[in-house]
Amino acid sequence: MLTSATTDLLRVITDPVRFRIVTLLAHETLCTTHLVEETGARQTNLSNHLKVLREAGVVETEPCGRFMYYKLKPEVIEALAESFGELAATARATHGSNRKRAC
Protein backbone atom coordinates (compact mmCIF):
# COMPACT_ATOMS: atom_id res chain seq x y z
CA MET A 1 0.00 0.00 0.00
CA LEU A 2 1.28 3.45 -0.86
CA THR A 3 1.73 5.59 2.23
CA SER A 4 1.23 9.33 2.40
CA ALA A 5 5.03 9.69 2.56
CA THR A 6 5.30 7.77 -0.71
CA THR A 7 2.65 9.89 -2.42
CA ASP A 8 4.35 13.06 -1.14
CA LEU A 9 7.65 11.82 -2.57
CA LEU A 10 5.96 11.09 -5.90
CA ARG A 11 4.63 14.65 -6.03
CA VAL A 12 8.16 15.92 -5.46
CA ILE A 13 9.97 13.89 -8.10
CA THR A 14 7.33 13.83 -10.84
CA ASP A 15 7.83 17.49 -11.65
CA PRO A 16 9.65 17.37 -15.03
CA VAL A 17 12.59 19.54 -13.94
CA ARG A 18 13.02 17.71 -10.64
CA PHE A 19 12.79 14.35 -12.39
CA ARG A 20 15.53 15.49 -14.78
CA ILE A 21 17.67 16.55 -11.81
CA VAL A 22 17.14 13.17 -10.12
CA THR A 23 18.05 11.38 -13.35
CA LEU A 24 21.22 13.43 -13.78
CA LEU A 25 22.24 12.92 -10.15
CA ALA A 26 21.78 9.16 -10.51
CA HIS A 27 24.81 9.22 -12.80
CA GLU A 28 27.09 11.65 -10.96
CA THR A 29 27.38 14.27 -8.24
CA LEU A 30 26.89 17.71 -9.78
CA CYS A 31 27.12 21.33 -8.71
CA THR A 32 24.44 23.91 -9.36
CA THR A 33 26.33 25.26 -12.38
CA HIS A 34 26.30 21.83 -14.05
CA LEU A 35 22.61 21.38 -13.28
CA VAL A 36 21.76 24.76 -14.81
CA GLU A 37 23.65 23.78 -17.96
CA GLU A 38 22.07 20.32 -18.16
CA THR A 39 18.48 21.32 -17.42
CA GLY A 40 18.35 24.73 -19.08
CA ALA A 41 16.53 26.04 -15.99
CA ARG A 42 17.31 29.47 -14.60
CA GLN A 43 19.49 29.59 -11.52
CA THR A 44 16.70 30.78 -9.20
CA ASN A 45 14.23 28.23 -10.56
CA LEU A 46 16.78 25.45 -10.21
CA SER A 47 17.61 26.50 -6.65
CA ASN A 48 13.93 26.26 -5.73
CA HIS A 49 13.71 22.75 -7.22
CA LEU A 50 16.85 21.69 -5.36
CA LYS A 51 15.41 23.04 -2.11
CA VAL A 52 12.28 20.92 -2.60
CA LEU A 53 14.40 17.83 -3.31
CA ARG A 54 16.60 18.53 -0.27
CA GLU A 55 13.64 19.04 2.05
CA ALA A 56 12.06 15.80 0.79
CA GLY A 57 15.30 13.96 1.56
CA VAL A 58 15.93 12.97 -2.06
CA VAL A 59 19.29 14.71 -2.38
CA GLU A 60 22.06 15.72 -0.03
CA THR A 61 24.53 18.54 -0.36
CA GLU A 62 28.28 18.58 -0.23
CA PRO A 63 30.04 21.96 -0.03
CA CYS A 64 33.26 22.23 -2.02
CA GLY A 65 34.92 25.64 -1.86
CA ARG A 66 32.45 28.20 -3.15
CA PHE A 67 30.35 25.52 -4.88
CA MET A 68 27.59 23.31 -3.57
CA TYR A 69 27.43 19.79 -4.96
CA TYR A 70 24.29 17.67 -4.98
CA LYS A 71 24.17 13.91 -4.60
CA LEU A 72 21.18 11.60 -5.02
CA LYS A 73 20.25 9.45 -2.03
CA PRO A 74 19.68 6.06 -3.71
CA GLU A 75 17.95 4.56 -0.68
CA VAL A 76 15.04 6.98 -1.21
CA ILE A 77 14.58 5.82 -4.81
CA GLU A 78 14.96 2.18 -3.72
CA ALA A 79 12.18 2.62 -1.13
CA LEU A 80 9.94 4.13 -3.80
CA ALA A 81 10.71 1.24 -6.16
CA GLU A 82 9.91 -1.23 -3.37
CA SER A 83 6.52 0.43 -2.85
CA PHE A 84 5.74 0.03 -6.55
CA GLY A 85 6.97 -3.57 -6.45
CA GLU A 86 4.54 -4.32 -3.64
CA LEU A 87 1.74 -2.61 -5.54
CA ALA A 88 2.52 -4.68 -8.65
CA ALA A 89 2.60 -7.89 -6.60
CA THR A 90 -0.82 -7.10 -5.14
CA ALA A 91 -2.23 -6.40 -8.60
CA ARG A 92 -0.69 -9.60 -9.95
CA ALA A 93 -2.16 -11.65 -7.10
CA THR A 94 -5.68 -10.29 -7.60
CA HIS A 95 -5.61 -10.06 -11.41
CA GLY A 96 -7.09 -13.47 -12.17
CA SER A 97 -9.36 -13.73 -9.15
CA ASN A 98 -12.35 -11.93 -10.69
CA ARG A 99 -12.42 -9.90 -7.50
CA LYS A 100 -14.66 -6.87 -7.86
CA ARG A 101 -16.75 -4.73 -5.61
CA ALA A 102 -20.51 -4.82 -6.07
CA CYS A 103 -22.08 -1.59 -7.26
**pLDDT score of 71:** 98
Residue 60: which residues within 8 A CB-CB, separation 6 or more?
Answer: 54, 70, 71, 73
**pLDDT score of 1:** 60
- Is 98 contained in some domain? no
Per the structure, the count of domains in the chain is 1
**pLDDT score of 17:** 97
**pLDDT score of 25:** 98
Mean pLDDT of residues grouped by 10 in the chain (103 residues)?
83 96 98 96 97 97 95 95 90 80 83
- Is 37 contained in some domain? yes
**Residues 77, 81, 85: CA angle, nearest 5 degrees:** 170
Full residue range of the structural domain in which residue 11 is found: 4-88
Whether the CB-CB separation of 60 and 71 falls below 8 Å is answered with yes
CATH number of the domain to which 55 belongs = 1.10.10.10
